[in-house]
Structure 1
Amino acid sequence: MYHLENDRLKIGIKHKGAELCSIKSIHSDKEFMWQADPSVWGSHAPNLFPIIGMMKAGRYNYKGKSYNMPKHGFVRHNEDFEVNKLSDTRIEFILNSNAELKEIYPFDFRFKISYELKDDTLIVHHEVENLDTDNIYFSLGGHPAFNCPLPHEENYSDYSLEFEKPEQSESYLLDLTSGLVTDNTKPVFSSVNTIKLRPDLFNEDALVFKDLNSKSVFLKHSSKGTVLTLKFDGFDYLGIWAKPNAPYVCIEPWQGIADSIHTTQELTEKEGIIELAPKSTYKATYSIEIDKGHLV
C-alpha cells in the first residue's frame, strides 16, 4: 500500500492494479471511497486498459488473429506495476508490455498512471506510449466507487448526480446476457441536468453515455449540498454504476466503450478505440475534488 498526504487529504493506492482505494479527510478521517466489501463488490476504483467493458465473447481480431481479452482489460488485476516516482503528494506507476501480455494484446506499449494531490483535489493522470513499430489500438478509463450515502445512516435516495450543463442525453442500454451496448436508450435524467439516485436505478446494469455536454459531475445531498466533484475533461464517454441496493456509486470516465451488439470484432473498427502512431504518447486526466464542507 502506498500513501499520499497533504494538509487536507490522505490517499491510499494498492500496488496491485495501481488501484486507488482510499480518499480520507485529514481532519475528520471521513472515508469517501467504497471499501470493497467482497460480499457486494470487491473493488474500489479499477483502472481500465486496453479496453472498456465487454468484448463480444471476450475476444477480438487483429491482423487475422483472434485474441482473448477479459472484461475491462488486464490492468486492474496486474501485479507487474513498477513505481517510477514517489513523493508525499504524487506517485507514478508504470506497466510495460511483456511476453505474457502479448499473448492477449500484441503491441509494445508503456502504460503510466499517476496520482497527484493538490489541495482538496486528487488528479489522476493516464499516459500511454506507443513503443511499437506499428499503430497501437486501445481504450482506457477509470471506475472509482464512492461511498453513498455518506454517512451510512442517510438514505441513498437523498443523493443525486448533478451535471454542469443541461443534458438531453439518454443512457444506452446493455444487453444483460452479453454485456454489449445495444441501440436502445432510456431517459434517466430527473431534471434538465440531474440524475436522482435510487436503489433500483441500476437494475439494468450501468448507465452509459456517449454524448454528454458536461465535463463535470457533482455528487450532491438534497439538503447538505455537494460532496465531491468529478471532472472528466479528457474523456468522451461516461459510465455510472452500482450493484442494485448497494451503498456506493461509481462515476466512470471512459475513453472508449464496450463492444456494440453490431461489432465486427475487428479491434481497429471498435467504437471509441484510440489509434496511436509509433513513438507517440496519449494523455488523459480526470480529477476528484472533495467539497471543503466535508473536510472538517
Structure 2
Amino acid sequence: MSSYQLKNGVLTVSVDTSGAGLTSIKDKAGLEYLWQGNPDFWSGQAPILFPICGSLRNGEAKIGDGKSCSMGRHGIARRCEFTLRHLDSDSISLFLHADAETMKSFPYDFELEMTYRVKDRSVIVEHTVKNCGSEVMPYFVGGHPAFNCPLNEGEAFEDYIIEFEKPETAGCPVLTEDGLINVNNRKALLDHASSFGVKHELFYDDALIFDSLESRSASLLHKETQKGIRVDFKDFDYLGIWSSANDGPFVAIEPWSGTSTCSNEDGIFEHKRGVRILGPGQSETLAYTISVL
C-alpha cells in the first residue's frame, strides 16, 4: 500500500492505493474534515462501492448468461489494491483491473479507474468503469465518504444539520437486518423542508437511503456557523446518509448509482433498480464533488 498527497494551497488531500479511497481532507489551517477511521466506531473512511452499492440478497445473485456473483456489502473494490496511473500536484488516477480473484466474485473483465482532482475548495471524485470483455457488463458504483461530526472541539454531534439544495418531501425505506430494502416500510423524514437535524438515533436502524430526492447536493453544516462540507452528486440517483449505530462522531454522505436489493426484486443482478449496462469496450464516468464550506 502507498499513500499520495495532493495540494493546491487551499486543501491538502491524501489517497491510498489500498481501496483507492480518500484518507484525509485538510484545509490550510490544518482542520481535518474526513473521518479518520477509529475502529471503536467504524474503521473505514471513504470506501469505493463497486460493482454493487449496498447488499445483495444472501450475498449473491444470478448474472449474465447463466453465471452468478457473490460478494459482501458494497462489493469488492474497497478491499483491492489499486495501481498508480497518473500523479501530479493536484490530481491522481489509480486503477483496478479484473483478475482471477475478482472474477470469483464478479465474473467480468473490467477496469475501474478512480481520479481525484483538487480545485479551489473542492475535491472532484471521478469513477470511470470500462468493460474490457466481450460481453455486456452490468454494474453499480458509488462513494461512501465519512466526515468528522463535530468538526471542532467544544461542538456536539447534534449541533449539525443535513441541508439539501431544495425543499424536499421525502421518506426513507427501512432496511432489513441484512441490509436489504423493505419497499413496504418507509419512515417520513422531510415534509416540504430542506434540512433536518443530525441525531444519533436516526442511524440506529442503519443508513437513511434517499431514493426520491430532487436535490443533487447535500451539506453537513454546523447549524449556527454554517461551516462544514457539501457533496454535489448530479451523476447519481440515490443518496445514503449514515453513521454507526454506536454513536460514532461522523456522518457519511454517500452518492450511489443504485441500492441494495429491494424486497420486491428477484435474485437477478440486471433486475436491480439503477443497474448500469456497458457493452464490450464501452466506458463511462460518474463523478461527485466534496466542497469545504
Bin of the TM-score, shorter chain as denominator length = over 0.9
Distance 1:91 1:202 in 2: 33
Give the match's secondary structure for 2:103. helix
The aligned residue for residue 249 of structure 1 is 251
Unaligned runs of 5+ in 2: none
The aligned residue for residue 197 of structure 1 is 198
**What is the deviation of 1:190?**
7.2
Q: Which amino acid aligns with 1:181?
A: I
1:289 and 2:291 matched = yes
The aligned residue for residue 133 of structure 2 is 132
The aligned residue for residue 263 of structure 1 is 265
The answer to which of 277-286 and 40-49 deviates more is: 277-286
The aligned residue for residue 180 of structure 1 is 180
Encode CA deviations 1:133-169: one digit per residue, 9 max, x unaligned. 1110100000000000111421111110110011112
1:19 and 2:21 matched = yes
Contact kept in structure 2, 1:135 and 1:278, CA below 8 Å: yes
Q: Which amino acid aligns with 1:247?
A: P
Higher strand share: 2
Same amino acid, percent of matched pairs: 36
**What is the deviation of 1:91?**
0.3
- TM superposition score normalised by structure 2: 0.95
The aligned residue for residue 64 of structure 1 is 66
Distance 2:130 2:8 in 1: 30
**What is the deviation of 1:23?**
0.2
Unaligned runs of 5+ in 1: 292-296
1:231 and 2:232 matched = yes
Distance 1:95 1:121 in 2: 24
The aligned residue for residue 209 of structure 2 is 208
**What is the deviation of 1:191?**
6.1
Give the match's secondary structure for 2:190. coil
Distance 2:52 2:200 in 1: 28
- TM superposition score normalised by structure 1: 0.94
Within-5 A mapping of 1:36-47: 36-47=37-48
The aligned residue for residue 83 of structure 1 is 84
Contact kept in structure 1, 2:169 and 2:192, CA below 8 Å: no
The aligned residue for residue 294 of structure 1 is none
Q: Which amino acid aligns with 2:229?
A: L
Distance 2:30 2:175 in 1: 38
Distance 1:226 1:173 in 2: 30
Q: How many aligned residue pairs are there?
A: 288
**What is the deviation of 1:66?**
3.0
The aligned residue for residue 96 of structure 2 is 95
Contact kept in structure 2, 1:60 and 1:69, CA below 8 Å: no
Distance 1:279 1:65 in 2: 20
The aligned residue for residue 74 of structure 1 is 76
Q: Which amino acid aligns with 2:283?
A: T
**CA RMSD after TM alignment:** 1.2
Contact kept in structure 1, 2:168 and 2:191, CA below 8 Å: no
Distance 1:150 1:189 in 2: 25
